[in-house]
Structure formats: structure tokens, C-alpha cells
Amino acid sequence: MLKRITYASRYAKPMTAEEIEEIGSRATEKNRDLGLTGLLMASGGLFYQVLEGPPEEVDRIYDTILGDERHTDVSLLSSVDAVKDRSFPDWTMKTIDLDAQAHVRLLPVKALMKSVFEQRRLVDNMIAAIERSLQYEMRDE
């Protein structure tokens, strides 16, 4: 069985199109050896990635991403175990720099990427507020 994760993150610092392409090229080479496939999109200072393959390799690469200085605010959007079929069987890592693409059909994808990240940030803020409230209430008991 396979595992599939999806995450979003912010660039830790501004990146050029060449730097994004380099990330994709290195991932393609590494993923080929590890049996991983997926998609990496970049836009507006955000990464959105789907990574699929053997569970232990997916987890190992995700742990590497969490410690990668090029990423900040990494947010796991989904993690699915026991995946039967790959969504991206032919792409060891398809890299799409949406900022380098001028095609108007990609504008909704850019907006969705931003929205997904912002919604996740809002949910995280709400959870933190609930936890703070509960801690405050428990101190008063």
C-alpha cells in the first residue's frame, strides 16, 4: 500500500524561478530512487505539494521538509494511508511555478492555493484560541 500527503508552506525567503526549478529537479532525481511521485506547485510565496509512495519514504521526506530552511509555516493538509493508486504515477515530481506561468487559466489555481493556506492558518488560530480559553477556565477552577 501507498501513502499520500498534501501540505502547504510559505517560502522562508523570496525565491527565484530558477531556485524553484532547482528544488523540483533535485526532488525528481531523489524521488525516482525512492519510488515517490507527486506534484509541487509554487505561487505567491507559497508551496503546495502532494507526495505519494511507500509510507516510510513519504514520512521521511516530509520530516526532511519540516526541517528544511526554505520552508516556514508548514501545514499538513491531508495524510492518507493505504492508498491503492497513485494520483501522479508518471511524475516523480512535477514542478509548476504558477508565478512564471502567465496563462489566465491558472489564476483560479493561484487563488485556491492562497485560500487553502489562509483557511488553514485561520483554523490553527481558532484552535489556539480555544486552547487558551480552556487553559484560562481551568485555572479558575
Q: What is the Cα–Cα distance from 81 to 17, expressed in whole angstroms?
A: 33
pLDDT of residue 53: 97
**pLDDT recorded at residue 12:** 93
Note the helical H segments in 6-106. Answer: 17-34, 55-67
> Which domains occur in the chain, in start order?
2-140 (3.30.70.100)
Residues 6+ apart with CB under 8 A from 57: 34, 35, 36
Long-range contacts of 53-56 (CB under 8 A, 24+ apart): 53/2, 53/3, 53/86, 54/2, 54/3, 55/1, 55/2, 55/3, 55/81
Q: Taking the model in full, what pTM does it have?
A: 0.78
Residue 23: per-residue pLDDT? 92
Tens digits of pLDDT across the chain (141 residues)? 999 999 989 899 999 999 999 999 999 999 999 999 999 988 888 899 999 999 999 999 999 999 999 999 898 989 999 999 999 999 999 998 888 766 666 667 777 777 877 887 888 888 888 888 887 766 766
The pLDDT of residue 62 is 96
- How far are the Cα atoms of 21, 23, 43, 97, 111 from residue 15, in angstroms, in the given order? 10, 11, 10, 11, 19
Q: What is the pLDDT of residue 40?
A: 93
Predicted local distance difference test score (pLDDT) of residue 107: 67
